Amino acid sequence: MVDRVPAGRVASYGDIAVLAGTGPRQVGRIMAGYGHLTCWWRVVRADGTSAVADRAAAYWDEEGIPYRDGRVSMRTCRWSNYPGRMTELTVRAWGTPGFAAPLEPVTVTRRELREDDVRIRIEFAGICHSDIHTMRGDWGERAYPLVPGHEIVGIVEAVGPAVTTFREGERVGVGCFVNSCGECDACLAGEISYCDEGPTPTYGGFDGEELTQGGYSQAIVVRESFVVSVPEGLDPAATAPLLCAGITTYSPLRRWGAGPGKRVGVIGMGGLGHVGVKIAAAMGAEVTVFSHSTAKRDDALSFGATRHVSTADGLPEDLRRHFDIILNTVSVDLDTAAYLGLLRFDGALVQLGLPGEPLQAPARMFTQQRRSLSGSLVGGIRETQEMLDFCATHDITAEIELIGAEHINEAYDRTIASDVRYRFVIDATTF
Ligand SMILES: [Zn+2]
Ligand SMILES: [Zn+2]
């Protein structure tokens, strides 16, 4: 049993006892007799101390097991692959019991860890507009009870035996998707958002037989390849919205080449738009915000925009043929042709929001200046990691209002009323 503990990890006598179906004392006795035949230095007391710490230290050094004063750091290197840590787990959550019903406390069951699963103790979950559309029934009926949330930050608390990227104690994030076919052209290119079979959403989708349940909960179990690392230095609560809003704006900005010398327009400065402004500015682009009122002008400028246009007065004449990229982050019906007219040669209007009506523009708006109209959906996992690293380098997080779970329904109302600067994040200790 002891030899199943991998190099660089330690187990307690109790951990081994559970595995062997015996008690910690028996394990201690057996170790005393036959321990020299095993990797004995990988077994310590539950508090990380060892009776033979002086002799073990050389092995700990060799395997990179952190310790101080003869005490191993159990938090960072305790082997989690033992029974009891891997089993199915029922956790508290907030979700809706039925179609368009308000959210209330519910429980969800997280699956027993598979080979490549990571179980995350959630710290923070952002409230995305998609959560509200889904929970209030705007996008049709789903399976219930349903727990939303796809802007998740937390700490790894257990990993399956085949997991290599993450260890217990590390801070990680999960975004909009938790699985995909893995075989289509999009998946092979790392662009899981565009999976042929449709990626599995973090909540409200089916992963095999299992209805996925999102991040408004105490814990979640996700395949390793859909988990990203949260760089140190990023505030974990304010990082949560980056897992959706961050990647959804970062991906098209990269795709259409935002950078020095480029002019970027951002339509709408809500949860999505305000992060887009920060990222585009950090990429070195000149950023203009289009917003229906002047209320957010000062914020826009402080986030890095150089100009704020209040669309209530119409679109300024001097911005015709001005932009290389315009991100439309809003879901209301706008004059697509008018915004296309603001694009210069080879410019692209990129649709991120989903308005109700079809988009319309005369064909000449495209032939002139070789403009294009496109759309973008979230982004890949590798790209999400790249985005988080970029945000850490440039000190970018979302502007948030942290709430307890009991305020979720109220936060939904306020988000719809645009009464939030700029994203609600739920403290997961309140679930
Ligand atoms: Zn979202
Ligand atoms: Zn695929």
Q: Measured between alpha carbons, how far is 160 from 166 in angstroms, rounded to an integer?
A: 10
H or E, element range at 410:
helix 408-416
Sign of CA dihedral 210, 212, 225, 86: negative
**Are 26 and 59 within 8 A, CB to CB?**
no
* pLDDT the model gives residue 12: 83
Q: For the chain, give percent helix, strand, coil, nearest 5.
A: 35, 25, 40
Residues 97 and 184 in one domain: yes
User: Near ion ligand 2, which residues have CB within 5 Å?
Assistant: 180-181, 184, 187, 195-196
Give per-residue pLDDT as tens, 318-362. Answer: 999 999 999 999 988 999 999 999 999 999 999 999 888 999 999
Give per-residue pLDDT as tens, 169-190. Answer: 999 999 999 999 999 999 999 9
* pLDDT the model gives residue 260: 98
Residues 93 and 222 in one domain: yes
Instruction: Give distance in angstroms: CA of 177 to centre of ligand 2.
Output: 12
* pLDDT the model gives residue 81: 55
CATH of the domain at 65: 1.10.10.10
Of 367 and 31, the structure prediction assigns the larger pLDDT to 367
Cis amide leading into 422 (omega within 30): yes
The first and second tokens of residue 70, run together, are: 């003869």
Give per-residue pLDDT as tens, 35-92. Answer: 777 888 989 888 889 888 889 999 989 888 888 888 988 766 777 555 556 788 999 9
Give per-residue pLDDT as tens, 375-391. Answer: 999 999 999 999 999 99
Structural domain that includes position 192: 89-242+405-430
Instruction: Give distance in angstroms: CA of 189 to centre of ligand 2.
Output: 9
For the CA of 240, the nearest ligand: 1
pLDDT at residue 24 tops 80 = no
The mean of the pLDDT values for the chain is 93
Of the residues 23, 43, 77, the one at which a domain ends = 77
Q: How much is the average pLDDT of 251-255? A: 98
pLDDT at residue 300 tops 70 = yes
Give per-residue pLDDT as tens, 218-252. Answer: 999 999 999 999 999 999 999 999 999 999 999 99
Residue 388 belongs to a domain: no
Quick one: which of 168, 127, 166, 157 has its CA closest to 219?
Answer: 157
Residues 331 and 251 in one domain: yes
Q: CB within 8 A of 31, min separation 6: which ones?
A: 2, 13, 38, 40, 43
Q: Measured between alpha carbons, how far is 106 from 98 in angstroms, rounded to an integer?
A: 12
Instruction: Give distance in angstroms: CA of 247 to centre of ligand 1.
Output: 10
Residue 101 belongs to a domain: yes
**Are 17 and 27 within 8 A, CB to CB?**
yes
Rounded to 10 deg, the angle between the 24-34 and 13-20 helix axes is 100
Instruction: Give distance in angstroms: CA of 362 to centre of ligand 1.
Output: 31
Instruction: Give distance in angstroms: CA of 363 to centre of ligand 1.
Output: 32
Residues 287 and 366 in one domain: yes
Scored b (16 or more CB within 10 A) or e, 278-287 reads: bbbbbbebbb
Q: Out of 20-24, 106-110, 405-409, which region has the weakest mean confidence (pLDDT)?
A: 20-24
> Which stretches within 227-363 are classed as H helix?
236-239, 245-255, 271-282, 297-302, 336-340
**Are 117 and 221 within 8 A, CB to CB?**
yes
Would the ipTM clear 0.85, i.e. be above it? Answer: yes
CATH of the domain at 349: 3.40.50.720
Instruction: Give distance in angstroms: CA of 414 to centre of ligand 2.
Output: 36
Residues 150 and 38 in one domain: no
Q: How much is the average pLDDT of 112-121? A: 94
Quick one: which of 42, 79, 38 has its CA closest to 161?
Answer: 79
Residue 364: pLDDT band by 50, 70, 90 thresholds? very high
pLDDT at residue 110 tops 90 = yes
> Which stretches within 51-200 are classed as H helix?
53-63, 74-77, 129-135, 185-188
* pLDDT the model gives residue 31: 81
For the CA of 182, the nearest ligand: 2
Of the residues 77, 102, 131, the one at which a domain ends = 77
**Are 239 and 230 within 8 A, CB to CB?**
yes
Residue 151 belongs to a domain: yes
pLDDT at residue 295 tops 80 = yes
Residue 397 belongs to a domain: no
Instruction: Give distance in angstroms: CA of 252 to centre of ligand 2.
Output: 20
Q: Out of 13-17, 285-289, 307-311, which region has the weakest mean confidence (pLDDT)?
A: 13-17
Of the residues 44, 77, 110, the one at which a domain ends = 77
* pLDDT the model gives residue 166: 95
Give per-residue pLDDT as tens, 194-213. Answer: 999 999 999 999 998 889 99
Scored b (16 or more CB within 10 A) or e, 148-174 reads: bbbbbbbbbbbbbbebeebbbebbbbb
Sign of CA dihedral 209, 215, 217, 219: positive
| DSSP sequence for 182-228 | S-SHHHHTT-GGG-TT-PEESSSSEETTEEP--SSBSEEEEEGGG-E
Instruction: Give distance in angstroms: CA of 148 to centre of ligand 1.
Output: 10
For the CA of 176, the nearest ligand: 1
